[in-house]
Amino acid sequence: AQTVEVKMGADSGLLVFEPAKVTVCKGDTVKWINNKAGPHNVVFDEDNIPDGVDQEKISMDDQLGEPGDTFEMKFDTAGTYGYYCEPHRGAGMQATLVVQ
């Protein structure tokens, strides 16, 4: 199993996840790193995750306020997961995770 990193906020300060789409294998971990323009969080869209996955269990409770703060989650269920940053959802800060 491996860990894939996703930046929260582009180096240029844009309100995006980088990369906007990542593909991992079952059992891999995604590590989100607060980069720029925080605070950020990771909230999965309950209408855009595989059946049987608990949206609240895989989403963050809090927000990452400091650059370098991280959030990690292991994914064991294959499928496509849509997620967004709650404070910046209106700015289009959303991304896709594919678990194979």
| Residue range 62-90, pLDDT digits in tens | 999 999 999 999 999 999 999 999 999 99
The residue ranges of every structural domain in the chain are: 3-99
Burial group, residue 87, by CB count within 10 angstroms (0-12, 13-18, 19+): middle
Residues belonging to the active site = 40, 85, 88, 93
Fold of 3-99: Immunoglobulin-like (2.60.40)
42 exposure class (CB count in 10 Å sphere: 0-12, 13-18, 19+): buried
8 — pLDDT class (breaks 50, 70, 90): very high
Q: Is 25 annotated as a binding residue?
A: no
Percent of the chain with pLDDT over 70: 100
pLDDT at 16: 98
**Other Cβ atoms closer than 10 A to 50:** 12
Tens-digit pLDDT profile for residues 21-39 = 999 999 999 999 999 999 9
> Residue 60, annotated ligand binder?
no
Phi-psi region of 88 (alpha: psi -120 to 50; beta: other; left: phi over 0): alpha
